[in-house]
Structure 1
Amino acid sequence: MNIPTIVAGALWLVALWRLPSIRHSRKQRSLALTFVCLAAAMTLEVPEAKAAVNDAAGAGMRLPPLLKHLLGVASAAYLLDFVIAVVRPQGLARRTRLAAVGVTFPLMLAFYALANWTPGGPVRLGEGEGAVFPVLYTAVFTLYIGVAMIVATWLFLGGVRHSRTLLGKAGLGFLGLGTLLGSLYALQRVVFVTIHLSTGTGHPELEDLLSTTLKQTAILSISLGVCLPPLSVAVDHARDWNTLRRLQPLWEHLTEAAPHVVLSAPIPRWRVPFRLERCVIEIEDACLALREYVSADLHERARSFAEQRSVEEDEADAVAEACWLRAAAHFSRDGRRLEGTEHPPLGVTGRDRTSELVWLRAVSRAYTSSPVVAEFPSQEKATASLSAGVPERVCSRGN
């Protein structure tokens, strides 16, 4: 299997993967059509596909190169539309871009039809009556590809710093690298044509090597850049699922003590980010409900209890939080809320999203696995019983 076949096959896989998203939004539609055009263009470099087109249209028509270049222009236009939709949602020179495409296609078709092609390739300037038209054809194609790729490179690389995730930044970086290589592809074509026109000498083997290498590397870089952001989504999904799994035991214990905080609307199991969001909300609501059964003094005793049991300093806050929550869940069974007293502060207050989840995971781990947390409610119950019993004994002696 040759390299063009491998590249074309990889592009068709990406194109088929992106094709279902064509109805979702403008940027998704542009991206899907970019890869459909690229895949079709690279298919025309596969020897068997090129031979089939020549057999159908006639070898003298030289249809595969024309179709490949037209598809290349279309893919560049859709890619530019995609990056503008991502980086500049407000738009960028839409009328100018439409006009450029509207002029490029008819000029390419006209110059291609007027050129006097030879079996070895296009006839250069000075070798025939129609020799200027291959040069004009190449100039129009190269100019559009070059300008489109330069603008896309500027937008892609400029958008790297605005991406929120590492894989998102890497994806935009690879897309920018791919369009930069596309710009170099256009530049090397200009350089070789200029050398041929000025000196009359050509370097077809070197030109073909550079052209093929730059083109295929650019396409693979763009394909990799497109695949990385969805991978970032998959990583986020896996992280959310893992966090949800770790918070589930804390949620079960707290909502058992405060069942009224559980929302009734169901969420499908596959919508993990929404399930995690609701789990966090219900845990925090349960904490607010349960704190009404205990006083701030109990929180201080929980912290002292953790220190007495030699809990690690970096775990002490989470263990103390889990201690008073477990005690509050125990006291809530009596249904007597404490009034006229200060309640414990919530450790989750004032945190950003990342530190909030880290905190809740630490509290959940302490709540379900720390022997200190399991012992604390019994200690508090014994202390409360002793405190309640002392006045009775004093009173009886007074009688």
Structure 2
Amino acid sequence: MLAAAAGYWILGRGTPRPTGTWTMGALLGSFAVAFACYSPLVGGVVEEVVPHMARLLSNCASLGAATAALAVSFQLNLEPAQARRRVRLRLVLFAASTVGMTVLFIGEQMAHRSPQVYALYLLLFISYLGFAVIDFAQQALRQSKATRRSSVRLGLRLAACGCAFALVYIAYKLTVLVSLGFGFPLVPDHSECSSLVAAPCVFSVASPALAVLLICVGLTLPAVAYPVAQFRRRRWEKRSFEALAPLWRDLSQAMPQIVLSAGGQGDESVEDPDFLLQRRVIEISDGILALRPYRSQQVEEAAAKASPGQGAREAAFVEAAVVKASLAAMRTGTLPRVIAAPATTDASARKSLRDDTEWLLLVADAYTQHAAVRVADDGLPEPVGV
């Protein structure tokens, strides 16, 4: 799964490639190598060539993944020059750590698996890993507070939780280091894992596995959530465009001048749901605004008494009744005795296309689903409105 995700980031992102594409591929690929070395198939083949070589490959891949995670964070959150400077420093530290671990690994094998040399190997490994995990966790938490996108915020917090499990693994490795350095039997030597929730496997296997899962899911979540969010947004735009059709049709038939230009031939925006919905919302708003001289306060008061809903739905019902009566009055040329003020309910809070659309959807629903109220005008025997 990690290898497939790495392939998606490197090969399936299209061109031009977004910032952090290669580092995300390196992150997922490094984790894939680290876990592959733990598998019996890959580990057995490697061990046949060089004993205990799978451990070195896995540890180096883990450090590479930690470095890539830092690089992703730097590239997305810092200026390019500053990000390159910090990434370069981490790469130097990573290279020094891997070279040092390789030298100590060779020395350990030549010294017949000396505990002291292995302790130095562990010290170098957990030092760089701990530094990288803490650095990344601080950045993830800091950026999660500043970002506006909910998927990015959730992803960074998941990655920070993964860092917490990584620190548990580092604490376990530190315990092993103390056990080797001072000869304390704190951790059973060469213990088999019978359960992932039993010690020491919960620290040596389950914790790093959860850390990798949460970090990878956290950093990949925004890339997966974006197309899903785009699909849902476009579906909502199409449905909203269709739901506003009855109200728009009546307004545009009575006032053809509110219909905006459809654009030139070959204009791709003409077929864009966002463009079409925005134009329809503007046209309906212009039509309602043009009906201001025909808005009857009597109709408004009667609709407020007859409204079946509360809050925004009540306001939408009243507005729909006033608009329907205003259209009828416009067709007959009848002006009301007292002109009602335009609807102002939550107008200050509607600062986006979505807010305006949600309000007009309520009005359009009340316009088509409920019969308009009937009121008698003083001095006239026939009712006004429809």
TM-score (norm 2): 0.75
1:36 to 29, 38, 45: 29
**2:242 maps to 1:248:** yes
Which segments of 5 or more consecutive residues in structure 2 lack a partner in the other structure? 192-198
Q: Deviations over 1:201-254 (max 9, x none)?
A: 453335565221221110112233235445654357426633641452324542
> Which residue identity lines up with residue 19 of structure 2 in the other structure?
R
Distance 1:17 1:194 in 2: 41
Q: Provide Cα deviations, 1:8-30, integer angstroms capped at 9, x if missing partner.
A: xx323433443423753223432
User: 1:103 and 1:309, CA in 2 relative to 1: closer, same or farther beyond 3 A?
Assistant: closer
Letter in 2 for 1:47: P
Residues 327-354 of structure 1 show CA distances to partners (whole Å, capped at 9, x for unaligned) of: 55567779x9x9xx98963657422336
Q: How far is 1:260 from its partner? A: 2.6
Contact map agreement 2:67 2:132 (CA 8 A) in 1: yes
Q: d(CA) in 1 for partners of 2:111 and 2:270?
A: 62
Against the structure 1 CA distance between its residues 321 and 355, is the aligned structure 2 distance closer, same or farther, given a 3 Å change threshold? Answer: same
Q: Could you tell me how far 1:161 is from its partner in structure 2?
A: 2.8
Deviation per CA, 1:99-153, whole angstroms, max 9, x where unpaired?
Answer: 332243244235424533449994222xxxxx3xx44433222222111100111
How far is 1:53 from its partner?
Answer: 3.5
Taking the aligned partners of 1:298 and 1:121, their CA distance within structure 2 comes to 95
Q: Which of 303, 306, 322 is the matching residue for 2:320?
A: 322
Please tell me whether residue 99 in structure 1 is matched to residue 89 in structure 2: yes
Equivalent residues of 1:73, 1:144 under 8 A apart = yes
Output the CA distance in 2 between the equivalents of 1:229 and 1:46.
30
Aligned to 2:351: 352
| CA pair 361-122 structure 1, distance change in 2 beyond 3 A | farther
- Residues 142-170 of structure 1: CA distance to partner in whole angstroms, max 9, x if unpaired? 22211110011112122333344655443
Deviation at 1:302, TM superposition (A): 3.5
Per-residue CA distance 1:51-91 (angstroms, 9 max, x = gap): 23345xx234x443232222222211111122234444577
Partner of 2:195: none
Task: Tell whether the 8 Å contact from 2:295 to 2:326 is kept in structure 1 after alignment.
Answer: no
2:287 counterpart of 1:303: no
Q: Say whether residues 1:196 and 2:184 are aligned partners.
A: no
Q: 1:122 to 1:219 in 2, by over 3 A?
A: farther
CA contact (8 A) 1:247 1:361 kept: no
CA pair 356-301 structure 1, distance change in 2 beyond 3 A: same
Could you tell me how far apart the structure 2 residues matched to 1:37 and 1:324 are? 65
Identity value in percent: 15
AA partner of residue 104 (structure 1): F
Quickly say closer, same or farther: Cα 1:329–1:31, change in 2 above 3 A: farther
Find the counterpart in structure 2 of residue 181 from structure 1: 165
Whether the 8 Å CA contact 2:34–2:59 is kept in 1: the answer is yes
Distance 1:346 1:67 in 2: 69
Length, aligned pairs only: 355
Range 348-357 or range 325-334, more displaced: 325-334
Tell me, yes or no, if structure 1 residue 76 matches structure 2 residue 66: yes
Alignment partner for residue 21 of structure 1, among 8, 13, 20? 13
The one-letter amino acid paired with 2:126 is: T
Preserved contact between residue 250 and residue 368 of structure 1 (Cα < 8 Å): no
Kindly indicate whether residue 152 of structure 2 is the aligned counterpart of residue 162 of structure 1: no
- TM-superposed CA distance for 1:172, in Å, is 2.0
* 2: CA distance, partners of 1:86 / 1:359: 36
Aligned counterparts of 2:241 and 2:297: Cα–Cα separation in 1: 25
Would you say the 8 A contact 1:172–1:225 is kept in 2? yes
* Partners of 1:261 and 1:286 within 8 A in 2: no
Q: CA separation in 1, counterparts of 2:290 and 2:382?
A: 20
Residue aligning to 2:102: 112
When the two structures are superposed, what TM-score results if normalisation uses the length of structure 1?
Answer: 0.73
Secondary structure of 2:115's aligned partner: coil
Bigger fraction of residues in helix: 1
SS at match of 2:107: coil
Equivalent positions of 1:365-384 (< 5 A) are 365-372=365-372
Partners of 2:240 and 2:357 within 8 A in 1: no
Shift of 1:38: 0.9
CA 1:119 to 1:370, structure 2 compared with 1: closer, same or farther past 3 Å? Answer: farther
Partner of 1:394: none
Map 1:203-282 to 2 at 5 A: 203-204=188-189, 205=191, 209-230=202-223, 232-233=225-226, 234-235=228-229, 237-238=231-232, 241-242=235-236, 244-251=238-245, 253-254=247-248, 256-257=252-253, 258=256, 260-261=259-260, 263-264=262-263, 265-267=267-269, 275-276=273-274, 278-282=276-280
Cα distance change of structure 1 residues 240 and 119 upon mapping to structure 2, 3 Å threshold: farther
Query: Are the counterparts in 1 of residues 119 and 181 from structure 2 also a CA contact under 8 Å?
Result: no
Q: CA deviation at 1:279?
A: 1.0
**Farther-moved stretch of structure 1 (214-223 vs 159-168):** 159-168
